[in-house]
Amino acid sequence: MADSTIPVHVKAEVSVRVNPVLSSISRVIKFMGIKAVVLFFTVVVGVYLTILVANMGGYVDQIQRGQIQEQIATQVLNDPSFKLLAADVRAQRIADITRMAEHRAGLDQPFMVRSVRFLTNALSLNLGRALYMNSDGGSRQVRRIILERLPSTLVLFATENFLNFFLSIFFALALSRKYASFWDRVIITLSPTSSAPGWFYGLFLILIFAAQFGILPYGGMVAAPPPDTPINYFLSLCQHLVLPVFALLLSTIFGNVYAWRTFFLIYSSEDYVDMAKAKGLSSRDIERRYILRPTLPVIITNFALALITVWQGAIVLETIFNWPGLGRLTFQAIGLFDTPVIVGSTVIYAYLLAITVFLLEFIYTLVDPRVKIGSEGRRV
Amino acid sequence: MKYRILEIRRYPSAVAGLVIIALLLGISIYTIITIPYSEAIRIWRGGEEEVQDVPKNAQPVWVNFFRKTKLTETIILNTLEDADNANGQVTKVVTTGASGKSVIDITFAFEYLYDTFPQALTLHMTPIYQSGTPFVTATWVTPDNREIPLKDLKIQAPETYRISQDTRLRKNLENQPPEQGLFADPFLETPAPLKGRYELRLHVTVFEEGADLDAKFVMHGQVYGLAGTDHKRRDLTVALLWGTPIALSFGLLAALGTTLTTMVIAALGVWFGGWLDGLIQRVTEVNMILPFLPLLIMVGTLYSRSIWIMLGASILLSVFGAGIKGYRAIFLQVKESAYIEAARSYGASNTRIVFTYLIPRIIPVLIPALVNVIPTFVFLEATLAVLGLGDPVIPTWGKIIDDARSNGALFQGQYYWVLEPSSILMLTGLAFAMVGFALDRIFNPKLRGI
The reply to whether A184 and A134 lie within a common domain is: no
CATH number at residue A166: 1.10.3720
Q: Is A75 a domain residue?
A: yes
Residues A151 and A300 in one domain: yes
Domain limits of chain B? 2-36+235-447, 61-220
Q: In this structure, what DSSP letter does residue B53 have?
A: T
Q: Which of A38, A195, A216 to mutate to test the interface with B (most CBs of B within 10 A)?
A: A195
Top-confidence residue, A380 or B333: B333
Output the CA torsion A160→A163→A165→A170 (10° steps): -160
**Contact: B289, A354; criterion CB under 8 Å:** yes
DSSP A284: H
Task: Give me the residue from B288, B328, B329 closest to A308, CB to CB.
Answer: B288
Instruction: Report how far residue B450's alpha carbon sits from residue B435's, in angstroms, rounded to the nearest whole number.
Output: 17
pLDDT, tens digit (0-9, with 9 covering 90-100), for A104-159: 777 777 777 777 887 888 888 877 777 778 777 778 888 888 888 888 888 888 88
Q: How many domains does chain A have?
A: 2
Q: E strands along chain A, which residues?
A: none
Rounded distance between C-alpha atoms, residue A139 and residue A153, angstroms: 20
- Examine residue A189 and state whether it is found in any structural domain, yes or no: yes
What is the per-residue DSSP string for A117-151? HHHHHHHTT---B-SS---TTS--BHHHHHHHHHH
Distance between A353 CA and the closest CA of chain B, angstroms? 5
Is A283 part of any domain? Answer: yes
Asked whether residue A12 carries a pLDDT value surpassing 60, the answer given is no
By C-alpha distance, the chain B residue nearest A60 is B302
A222 and A320 share one domain: yes
**Structural domain contains residue A360:** no
Distance, in Å, from the CA atom of B403 to the CA atom of B145, rounded to the nearest integer, reads 44
Q: Which of residues 325-354 of A touch B (CB under 8 A)?
A: 330-331, 334-335, 337, 339, 342-343, 345-346, 349-350, 353-354
Could you tell me if residue A369 is inside a domain? no
Residue B250: the pLDDT is 92
Select the residue of A308, A316, A349 nearest B387 (Cβ to Cβ): A316
> DSSP 3-state assignment of B352?
helix
Q: B61-220: which CATH architecture?
A: Sandwich (2.60)
Contact by Cβ (8 Å): B138, B161: yes
Same domain, A152 and A74: no
Burial of A11 (0-12, 13-18, 19+ CB in 10 A): exposed
Structural domain range at position A289: 143-337
Where is B167: in which H helix or E strand? helix B167-172
Is pLDDT of B147 > 90?
no
Contact residues, chain B, for A332 at CB < 8 Å: none
> Is residue B107 within 8 Å of B140, Cβ to Cβ?
no
Q: What is the CATH number of domain B2-36+235-447?
A: 1.10.3720.10
| pLDDT score for B303 | 81
Q: What is the ipTM of this complex?
A: 0.79
| Residue B442, burial from CB neighbour count under 10 angstroms (0-12, 13-18, 19+) | buried
**pLDDT for A273-310, tens place per residue?**
888 888 888 888 888 888 888 888 888 877 877 777 77
How far B176 CA sits from the closest chain A CA (Å)? 30
DSSP string, A197-222: -HHHHHHHHIIIIIIIS--S-SS-SS
List, edge to edge, every strand of the sheet that includes B120-128. Answer: B75-78, B212-220, B120-128, B159-162
- What one-letter code names the amino acid at B229? T
Claim to verify: residue A208 and residue A316 sit in the same structural domain:
yes
Residue type, A332: Q
Same domain flag for A91 and A236 = no
CA angle at residue A328 from A325 to A329, to 5 degrees? Answer: 80
Q: Are residues A52 and A122 in the same domain?
A: yes
User: Do residue A53 and residue A198 come from a single domain?
Assistant: no
Q: State which H helix or E strand residue B3 sits in.
A: helix B2-6
Last residue within a domain, chosen from A114, A138, A162 = A138
Mapped onto helix, strand or coil, the DSSP state of residue B136 is: strand
Nearest-angstrom CA–CA distance, A228 and A231: 9
Instruction: Identify all chain A residues contacting B410, using CB atoms and an 8 Å cutoff.
Output: 203, 206-207, 210-211, 218
- What whole-number distance in Å separates Cα of residue A191 and Cα of residue B430? 10
DSSP string, A312-361: HHHHHHHHHTT--SHHHHHHHHHHHT-HHHHHHHHHHHHHHHHHHHHHHH
Measure CB to CB from residue B294 to each of A207, A211, A346 and give the nearest one: A346
Give me the numbers of helices (H) and strands (E) for chain B, helices first please: 17, 10
User: Which one of A121, A138, A155 terminates a domain?
Assistant: A138
Residue A1 has pLDDT above 70, yes or no: no
Q: How confident is the model at residue B447 (pLDDT cuts 50, 70, 90)?
A: low
End-to-end CA separation in angstroms for chain A: 35
Same domain, A210 and A280: yes
| pLDDT at residue B209 greater than cutoff 90 | no
Average pLDDT over residues B194-218: 86
